[in-house]
Amino acid sequence: MKCWRDPAITAVACAVLLGLAAIGLRSSLSVAAETHAIPPPALDEPGTASTEVAVLAGGCFWGVQGVYQHVDGVLDAVSGYTGGTAATAHYDQVSTGTTGHAESVQITFDPRRISYGRLLQIFFSVVHDPTELDHQGFDTGPQYRSAIFPLSAEQGRIARAYIAQLSHAHVFAAPIVTSIEPGRTFYPAEAYHQNFLVRYPTYPYIVYNDLPKIAQLKRLFPRLYDARAVLVAVAQADPSH
């Protein structure tokens, strides 16, 4: 529902579409208000290195990035694309749903302050609905799929064990559809996508879809919530975008 990106849609039409989306999102916001923290992963290995990197996809990267920018121990969170090739890692192409890419976020964190497993707990509790296949709310297509892109065998082991744990406990009313896709390359998104939630907090999509996630993070993980967002330097975005 990012109609502002389509020059064929007028500003008035965009406002109407966003208004309809807001009405349709009321039910999902009600669900978000009732969200409860899921149990932490039984298998989790806090690291000893100064930095580690995770790549996660859970719908529009604006909200995913926005949540992790407010997590204590996260040093950087960059919006981008994962799952396809470098040649197709561009918003207009990814939006067709034919590139294999998912809108994703590369999270650099201090494993001595927050573990990979804890990042996954936030991912499943706050960031998105892991039972929605190839969509999140009104955003539809495989580019909005729920996916974990492990960067090591250990990350893959923790992710698989956690999904099995949550599935066995029937934490969600429907099956978890989150895919685990190792060996994929992350490509930073265009500069205008970076820090979007922080820069445009009154944008209708952000207000109705993503600000509730920040509130949930603060409510469910008060000790991990950091009011100061860790911002991406524009230079980190692919200069070719």
CA 215 to chain CA mean position, Å: 15
Reduced to 3 states (helix: H, G, I; strand: E, B; else coil), residue 187 is strand
- Token pair belonging to 85: 């090739």
- Token pair belonging to 1: 């529902």
**DSSP string of 50-117, one letter each residue:** S-EEEEEEES-HHHHHHHHTTBTTEEEEEEEEESS-GGG-SHHHHTTT-SS-EEEEEEEE-TTTS-HH
Hunting for tokens 């952000």 — which residue is that? 206
| Helix, strand, coil abundance in the chain, percent, nearest 5 | 40, 15, 45
Are β-strands 146-148 and 179-180 bridged in parallel, bridged antiparallel, or unpaired? parallel
Please check whether residue 100 is in contact with residue 139, taking contact to mean a CB–CB distance below 8 angstroms: no
Q: Is 3 a catalytic residue?
A: no
Catalytic residue, from 60, 64, 67, 127: name it: 60
- Look at residues 123, 173, 184, 197 and name the one whose alpha carbon lies nearest to residue 150: 184
**Measured between alpha carbons, how far is residue 89 from residues 30, 143, 207, 237 in Å?**
34, 11, 27, 12
For the annotated catalytic residues, the residue numbers are: 60
